């Protein structure tokens, strides 16, 4: 509904959403050839709080926040999923992916319920666009916490206790790449 407040039609929002997937193609190739996975995730995670800050405090065109969100949604998963195969033993990989899916979907469900509750409580809608502020702050704070966690991961991966996420590695998994 935030799109209606900003004057975008349903078809314009559809076009904006389609833009989300374009960076995935470039990132799929880049992560293998340049390494720096933790750094790329940190950059991707940094874009998300910036997105909500722009949405909540400016009247900038929605293309800007959509592009930032699309980049973030492309970078982080493009790094996390292959990195899991690098870090987890082959015999536990299915469990790791399953756990990631469960936690991700639980987080999505809880976040959507919380966002809906915040919007309902504030009577958010086209007649009350300021009512979306609580939801934007909620997602902004969550994304900032995620950014801090990933920045700490990058710091660790830059030190002596690294797991190899910053190295250039060609191959499907850690076991293959180490041999």
DSSP code per residue over 65-113: HHHHHHHHHHHHHHHHHHHHHHHS-GGGHHHHHHHHHHHHHHHHHHHHH
Structure tokens at 161: 């206790």
- pLDDT at residue 25, as a whole number: 56
- pLDDT at residue 27, as a whole number: 61
- pLDDT at residue 179, as a whole number: 37
Q: For domain 2-178, give the fold.
A: Growth Hormone; Chain: A; (1.20.1250)
Helix pair 62-87, 10-19: axis angle to 10 deg: 40
- pLDDT at residue 5, as a whole number: 52
75/30 Cα distance (integer angstroms)? 10
For every one of its 179 residues, what pLDDT tens digit does the chain have, with 9 covering 90 and above? 545 555 667 777 677 666 665 665 556 555 555 677 788 888 889 999 999 999 888 888 888 888 888 888 878 887 888 788 888 899 999 999 999 999 999 999 999 999 999 999 999 998 998 899 999 999 999 999 999 999 998 898 888 888 877 776 655 444 444 43
Domain map (residue ranges) of the chain: 2-178
Q: CB count, 10 Å around CB of 142?
A: 16
Identify whether the C-beta of residue 67 lies closer than 8 Å to the C-beta of residue 19. yes
With 0.75 as the threshold, say if the pTM is over it: no
């Amino acid at each position: 509904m935030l799109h209606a407040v900003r004057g975008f039609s349903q078809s314009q929002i559809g076009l904006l959403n389609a833009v989300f997937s374009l960076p995935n193609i470039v990132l799929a190739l880049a992560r293998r050839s340049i390494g720096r996975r933790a750094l790329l995730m940190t950059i991707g995670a940094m874009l998300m709080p910036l997105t909500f800050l722009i949405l909540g405090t400016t009247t900038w065109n929605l293309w800007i926040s959509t592009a930032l969100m699309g980049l973030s949604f492309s970078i982080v998963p493009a790094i996390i999923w292959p990195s899991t195969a690098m870090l987890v033993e082959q015999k536990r990989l299915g469990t790791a992916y399953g756990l990631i899916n469960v936690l991700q979907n639980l987080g999505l469900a809880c976040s959507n319920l919380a966002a809906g509750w915040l919007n309902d409580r504030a009577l958010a809608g086209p007649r009350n666009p300021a009512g979306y502020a609580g939801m934007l702050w909620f997602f902004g704070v969550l994304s900032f916490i995620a950014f801090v966690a990933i920045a700490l991961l990058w710091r660790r991966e830059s030190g002596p206790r690294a797991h190899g996420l910053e190295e250039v590695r060609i191959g499907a998994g850690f076991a293959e790449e180490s041999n």
